[in-house]
A and B are shown apart, each in its own frame.
Chain A
Amino acid sequence: MAKLTTTMCQVLTKAAIENLGQRKIYSIVDVLQEDPKKLAAISKLDFKDIVTLRQTLLTNFCPFPRQGLDAYNELLSQCSYLPSGIESFDKLLGGGFLTGRVYEVCGVSGSGKTQLCLTVATNVALKLKKTVHFVDTKLDFSGKRVHSILETKEPCVEIIGSTMEKILVTRVNSYNELYSFLYHLKNQLLQEPGVARMIIIESLPAVFFQYMGAHNLDSLGLLNSLASLIKYIAHEHFVSIVIVNLASLWVEEESAPLVHDENEAESSVPVIDIKPALGKYWAHIPNTRLYIEQCGNSNVRKITVMKSTHLSLGSFCNISVSSEGVK
């Protein structure tokens, strides 16, 4: 809790909190930033008590430093690859989706982003028997499609049924609902760790574009809150998060500042004239950004690594979209 309460420290009395509140000092951060002498004067507490208060707050709310080796060992014991079940795609990813990472799949409309996500969700649920959360923001989830993908892989009706029960779909209509869902899931993960290993958000721009525009200045703040929650879930609970983003081939000049073109500076990446949506700020959030595109008029799709912390940039693989899903 960020607001000061009497339970935080013994010396903090109700009267002292009220006194501080009159001078707009409400939260722990406010207390820590203020000069202790001034605090003593405002709150009418002893200077000694203020020092105790600072010390208590610091010890209670400060994260502990950890040794690199401990962090590494914990990472090794907790992290794992979740294979997508698509051979060439797994090879590109170095084994599969790494837990604790945020992935982004971007592409123009109709390039197969949804199909890829549905296939990955099905494979993770079928082969790894893990629960997959599918957050559907634009009515893209199709039970029929998942069923038909499963039918080509698994003859047994009961296994199909139990696999489909592992794919949990949440339809969200707004940013607030998306945040509520993730926040609730975070609390759930605290109580029962491992309740989810993969979250697919399909897609982020669908709930976000309505907050963009000249008169909506808080859009970055909202994106920021969401990004930190996503990072927190991925990192603290070892969940892989896949976020679908839109890419655009044509950009009118007005929208240019919000759209990001990172490829021009980097010569190692083949120059593709595409602009993933959600702007420069968002480009820093995913650990790995994958670009999916259609090759000609065929069923073949090419997936290229556009940005990554652990994969080589510009590497690519080809997959094909068919009635059996993605291969």
Chain B
Amino acid sequence: MLRPITTLPLPATAQLLLRENGFLYCEDVISHRGVAPEACKILQRWDLHSGDCWNGLTSPPPTYNSLDLWQEECASSSIVTWSKDLDVILNGGIPFQAITELCGAPGSGKTQLGLQLCVDVQIPECLGGADGHAIFIDTASNFSTRRIRAIADACCKHCHLLSRKNQRDLDNFNADTVMRNIHVISIHGIIELLAAVKILPQFIRQHPQIKLIIIDSLAFPFTCGETCSTIDRTSYIYRILSDLQILAVQKKLAVVVTNQLTTRIIKPTNKSDLAPALGESLGHRVTQRVLLGRIPGNLKAAIVLKGNNLSISSAKFKITEDGIRDV
């Protein structure tokens, strides 16, 4: 059993040239004597002609045993939501190294929670926070600087009170720096969204302190008129989430995407119900899924629909001028 060239992450033109010259399998290109001279000539154009380079392409990803992973999980923290009840059902907040989907009807608090997280991720380390920056990819022009200011003011005030008790210096932590550390990327349409995600690795290399990426909302570009078949849509979404997952693991950051609700018609009975948009495939792809909703009394409710460590449970919270708070 030999490994076909097509299973390597090579540019399409490189694959074509190799195939035309009779190289169908990896074992043809590289042997214990190194890269075959003819293949070397072809691969020079992509700077892939060295044996090390080729080994890098074919080497398997690292394997860990679950004991090490468990220890790592136990040591990692999460981003608090500022509502204790919500934190409890999420096992401490929005986790790092995972993709969290927030879905809900209009006015259920998806964006508000997103804005709150942008501020909360910046809580200084001495107060148990992540002390990181945030990227907010705004697809539906939902980002509100006024709200961010109010949430940041409230958060800073609270942290300063806490730090005074602990006799710690928090001079650099004020609403201005909080707002400076939120990088907003406004995009319009699917292509810009795909491009924005592609440049994230470079952007994060320049700003290594980024600990949170929010896409608000992931569904909007796919619903606003650009024609795109279902299968293409799934393919785009999986590409976006796959790129985000690589960042989440490598840079140990949290990824949050928001999603809308849509009417789903169940075929044989023709009954309908509300379900998160973008199809079943999105629910499959994300690590955890939280449904937000409005309940009487101007309150909001959150229900965990999917999560590995989380059982299906719900919590209430409210949105005040200062941000997300407990009821």
Contact = CB atoms under 8 A, between A and B. Distances in A.
A and B bound? yes
Interface of A: 1-3, 21, 24, 26-27, 108-110, 114-115, 118, 133-134, 138-148, 161, 164-177, 179-181, 183-186, 203, 205-207, 209-216, 218, 221-222, 225-226, 228-229, 232, 246-250, 252, 254-255, 258, 273, 277, 323
B61 A143 contact: no
A160 B57 CA distance: 36
Interface stretch (B115-123, B156-164, B207-215, B241-249): B241-249
A172 B308 CA distance: 18
Interface stretch (B128-136, B171-179, B280-288, B315-323): B280-288
Contacts of A255: 229-231, 234
Nearest to A170: B63
Q: Nearest 7 pairs between A and B by C-beta?
A: A26-B22, A143-B70, A109-B283, A213-B235, A164-B67, A184-B60, A143-B69
Contact of B74 (A139, A144, A180, A216): A144
Given A21-B22, A139-B97, A164 B230 contact: no
B145 interface: no
Contacts of A140: 287, 308
A24 B22 CA distance: 7
A201 B82 CA distance: 37
A248 B234 CA distance: 13
Contacts of B311: 323
Contact of B64 (A2, A26, A169, A250): A169
A299 B289 CA distance: 18
A167 B235 CA distance: 31
B306 interface: yes
A1 B2 contact: yes
Interface stretch (B216-224, B263-271, B294-302): B263-271
Interface string B54-84: 0001111111111101111110000000000
A144 B287 contact: no
B98 interface: yes
Interface in B90-148: 97-99
Nearest to A246: B284
Given A139-B99, A143-B72, A173-B242, A205 B281 contact: yes
Interface in B8-47: 8-9, 21-25, 27-28, 31
Given A210-B239, A250-B280, A273 B268 contact: yes
Chief secondary structure at chain B's binding surface: mixed
Contacts of A209: 234-235, 238, 281
B281 A246 contact: yes
Nearest to B267: A273
Given A138-B285, A138-B287, A173-B245, 14 more contacts: A1-B25, A139-B98, A139-B287, A143-B73, A144-B70, A145-B308, A165-B65, A181-B60, A213-B231, A221-B6, A232-B1, A249-B264, A249-B280, A273-B267
Nearest to A232: B1
Interface of B: 1-4, 6-9, 21-25, 27-28, 31, 57-67, 69-74, 97-99, 229-232, 234-235, 238-239, 242, 245-246, 248-249, 264-268, 275, 279-281, 283-287, 289, 305-306, 308-309, 311
A1 to B, nearest CB: 5
Contacts of A203: 284
A181 B7 contact: no
Given A180-B61, A181-B61, A145 B309 contact: yes
A146 B309 CA distance: 10
Name the residue in B65, B245, B249 with the highest tally of chain A Cβ atoms < 10 Å from its Cβ: B65
Contacts of B21: 26
Contact of A225 (B6, B60, B97, B248): B6
Contacts of B23: 3, 26
Contact of A169 (B1, B2, B63): B63
6 contacts: A3-B23, A26-B24, A109-B280, A134-B66, A173-B242, A205-B284
Given A143-B73, A167-B66, A225 B4 contact: yes
A183 B3 contact: yes
Contacts of B309: 142, 144-145, 148
